[in-house]
C-alpha cells in the first residue's frame, strides 16, 4: 500500500514535469482517482475501528491535512518572494504581481486567494470564471479561459484535497449506512457520470475527475472494499503467509509495479475501443477487490506504512519543487531531466518534512484515536 501511494504521487509529478520512471506510468487523472479509492478504504477502516465520535475524526483530519499544508504554503510564498526580489522571477506569485485586476475581476481573485489559506473550495475554482469587465460566473471548461482563476492558486495541485475534504465531511455518515445503500449511491454517481459523458458531452477536464458528485462513486468503491476485507478476515491465511520479510516485501513491490504496468497497457487497449475516460472508469471497480488484497499483504508491514506516509508531503511539495527546478534548469540552459530531478528532490524534502514535523504531529493526533474492538463489532452489525 505504501509503495502504491508513493507511486501514485510520482505519477502526478510525471504528469506535471515529464517522465520519472523508465517506463509508462499512469497519468495524473488515473493517479488521483485511484487515490480517491484508497482514501475511501482507509477512511472506512479508521471510522470503524479508531474513532468513537465524528468530532474526533474531523479534528484528526484537520490536524493531518491543514498544518502541513500551511507550512508548505508559507514556504512557497517565501521561495516565490525570494525569487522575485533576487532574480525577478516571482514563481507562483507571478499572477498576483502582474496586475491581476487587469486580467480578472476582484471577486474571483479574492475568492481564489482565500481558498489558498482555507483549502476549502480549491476544486470549485476550476468551475468558475471571472475575467476583467465581466461578472463571476460558472464555466464548463476553464481551459478555454485566457485568464483562468487557478493561476492564483499557490499550490494548484491541492484542488484534489478540496474534493477529499467534501468526502471527509460526509464520511462518518456514509460509513453508518448499510452496504446496499452505499452500492446504490455508488451506482448512482457512476451512472450520472456516464449520462453526462453520453448526453452532455462532459468528457473533458474538469468534469473527468474534479467534480465531486461524479467522484463519490470512487470513494465508495474504497469503502465497499473495506467491508469486503472485513467479511474475509475470518478466512485469511495464517500470519506466516503475509509479507513479513524484506525480501518478500521487495518481491511484492516488484509484482505490484508489474501489475500496474499491465493495468496501464490493458486500459490503453480498451481506450482505443471505447475512449480513454470510459476505459479508465470501468477498470476501477476491480480495485474493490485489489486494494483489500494489497492491504492484507502489506497493510501490517511497518516499513510499508512508513513509505506510505511520504505520499502526502510529496504531493504537497512537488509543485513548488517543479517550478523551482524548472527555473534553475532554464537558467543553466538545461532542458532535460525535470521530472526525475523534481521527483528526487520531492522525495528527499518529503522524508525530511515527515521526520521533522509530520511524525511529531501524528503522535499528538493519534491521542484522539481509540483502540476498541467493540467499535468494529458495532460497525459490522450496522453494515451487514
Question: In this predicted structure, what is the pLDDT of residue 236?
Answer: 59
User: pLDDT at position 376, please?
Assistant: 45
User: Which pLDDT score, from 0 to 100, does residue 381 have?
Assistant: 41
Residue holding cell 491541492? Answer: 158
CA 3 to each of CA 65, 227, 290: distance values in angstroms, whole numbers, following the listed order: 21, 23, 14
pLDDT of residue 16: 93
Average pLDDT over residues 248-273: 71
Nearest Cα to 193, choosing from 120, 284, 290, 288?
A: 284
Cell of 194: 456516464
Q: CA angle, 101 as apex, 128 and 330 as ends, to 5°?
A: 85
- Asked whether residue 86 carries a pLDDT value surpassing 50, the answer given is yes
Q: What is the pLDDT of residue 275?
A: 67
Q: Mean pLDDT of all residues in the chain? A: 85
Confidence of residue 27 (pLDDT cuts 50, 70, 90): confident
Has residue 55 got a pLDDT over 80?
A: yes
Does residue 21 have a pLDDT over 90?
Answer: no
> With a threshold of 0.75, does the pTM exceed it?
yes
Confidence of residue 245 (pLDDT cuts 50, 70, 90): low
Distance between CA 197 and CA 77 in Å, rounded? 39
Question: Per-residue pLDDT tens for 252-263?
Answer: 677 777 777 777
Residue 67 pLDDT > 60: yes
Q: What is the distance between the alpha carbons of residues 328 and 342, in angstroms, rounded to a whole number?
A: 11
Half-sphere exposure of 81 (CA within 13 A, CB side): 6
Least confident interval from 114-118, 222-226, 267-271: 267-271
pLDDT tens-digit series, residues 312-343: 999 999 999 999 999 999 888 777 889 999 99
- Provide, rounded to the nearest whole percent, the portion of the chain with pLDDT above 90: 52
Range of lowest pLDDT (205-214, 271-280, 334-343): 271-280
pLDDT for res 269: 66
* Band (3; pLDDT cuts 50, 70, 90): confident
Where are the domains positioned within the chain?
A: 2-377
CB 19 within 8 A of CB 339: yes
Measure the CA–CA gap between 278 and 275, rounded to whole angstroms.
Answer: 6
- Band (pLDDT 50/70/90 cuts) for residue 380 is very low
Higher-pLDDT residue of 368 and 265 is: 265
Instruction: Give me the percent of the chain exceeding a pLDDT of 70.
Output: 87
**Sign of the dihedral defined by the CA atoms of residues 310, 316, 319, 324, in that order:** negative
Q: Which 3 state secondary structure label does DSSP give 244? A: coil
Predicted local distance difference test score (pLDDT) of residue 383: 40
Q: What is the per-residue pLDDT for 369?
A: 63
Question: Residue 292: what pLDDT?
Answer: 83
Name the residue among 343, 314, 338 with its Cα closest to residue 326: 338
CA neighbor of 175 nearest in space, from 65, 46, 286, 291: 46
pLDDT in tens, 147-186: 999 999 999 999 999 999 999 999 999 999 999 999 999 9
Taking the C-alpha atoms of residue 364 and residue 358, their distance in angstroms, rounded to an integer, is 10
Answer whether residue 5 shows pLDDT above 50: yes
More confident residue, 380 or 31: 31
Bridge-partner residues for 131, per DSSP?
Answer: 104
User: What is the spatial distance between Cα 293 and Cα 349, in angstroms, rounded to a whole number?
Assistant: 31
Handedness of CA 59, 63, 64, 65 (dihedral sign): positive
More confident residue, 357 or 265: 357
pLDDT-derived band at 375, boundaries 50, 70, 90: very low
Measure the CA–CA gap between 219 and 232, rounded to whole angstroms. Answer: 20
pLDDT value of residue 272? 67
pLDDT at 249: 63
CA angle 120, 124, 128 (to 5 degrees): 135
Amino acid at each position: 500500500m505504501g509503495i502504491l501511494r508513493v507511486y501514485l504521487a510520482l505519477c502526478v509529478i510525471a504528469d506535471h514535469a515529464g517522465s520519472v520512471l523508465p517506463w509508462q506510468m499512469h497519468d495524473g487523472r488515473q493517479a488521483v482517482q485511484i487515490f480517491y479509492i484508497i482514501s475511501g478504504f482507509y477512511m472506512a477502516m479508521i471510522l470503524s475501528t479508531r474513532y468513537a465520535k465524528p468530532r474526533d475524526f474531523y479534528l484528526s483530519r484537520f490536524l493531518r491535512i491543514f498544518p502541513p499544508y500551511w507550512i508548505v504554503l508559507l514556504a512557497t510564498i517565501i521561495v516565490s518572494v525570494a525569487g522575485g526580489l533576487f532574480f525577478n522571477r516571482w514563481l507562483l506569485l507571478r499572477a498576483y504581481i502582474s496586475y491581476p485586476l487587469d486580467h480578472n475581476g476582484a471577486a474571483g481573485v479574492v475568492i481564489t486567494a482565500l481558498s489558498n489559506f482555507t483549502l476549502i473550495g480549491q476544486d470549485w475554482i476550476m468551475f468558475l470564471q471571472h475575467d476583467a469587465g465581466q461578472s463571476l460566473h460558472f464555466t464548463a471548461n476553464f481551459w478555454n479561459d485566457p485568464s483562468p482563476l487557478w493561476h492564483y492558486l499557490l499550490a494548484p495541485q491541492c484542488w484534489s484535497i478540496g474534493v477529499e475534504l467534501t468526502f471527509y465531511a460526509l464520511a462518518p455518515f456514509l460509513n453508518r449506512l448499510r452496504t446496499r445503500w452505499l452500492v446504490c449511491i455508488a451506482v448512482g454517481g457512476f451512472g450520472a457520470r456516464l449520462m453526462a459523458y453520453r448526453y452532455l458531452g462532459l468528457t473533458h477536464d474538469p468534469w473527468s475527475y474534479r467534480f465531486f458528485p461524479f467522484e463519490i462513486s470512487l470513494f465508495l468503491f474504497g469503502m465497499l472494499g473495506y467491508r469486503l476485507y472485513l467479511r474475509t478476515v475470518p478466512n485469511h491465511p495464517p500470519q506466516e503467509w503475509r509479507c513479513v520479510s524484506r525480501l518478500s516485501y521487495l518481491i511484492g513491490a516488484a509484482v505490484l509495479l508489474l501489475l500496474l504496468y499491465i493495468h496501464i497497457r490493458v486500459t490503453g487497449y480498451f481506450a482505443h475501443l471505447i475512449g480513454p475516460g470510459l476505459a479508465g472508469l470501468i477498470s476501477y471497480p476491480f480495485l474493490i477487490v485489489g486494494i483489500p488484497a494489497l492491504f492484507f499483504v502489506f497493510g501490517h508491514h511497518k516499513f510499508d506504512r512508513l513509505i506510505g506516509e511520504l505520499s502526502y508531503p510529496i504531493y504537497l511539495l512537488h509543485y513548488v519543487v517543479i517550478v523551482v527546478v524548472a527555473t534553475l534548469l532554464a537558467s543553466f540552459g538545461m532542458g532535460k531531466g525535470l521530472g526525475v530531478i523534481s521527483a528526487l528532490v520531492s522525495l528527499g524534502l518529503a522524508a525530511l518534512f515527515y521526520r521533522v514535523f509530520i511524525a511529531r504531529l501524528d503522535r499528538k493526533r493519534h491521542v484522539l484515536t481509540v483502540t476498541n474492538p467493540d467499535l468494529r463489532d458495532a460497525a459490522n452489525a450496522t453494515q451487514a
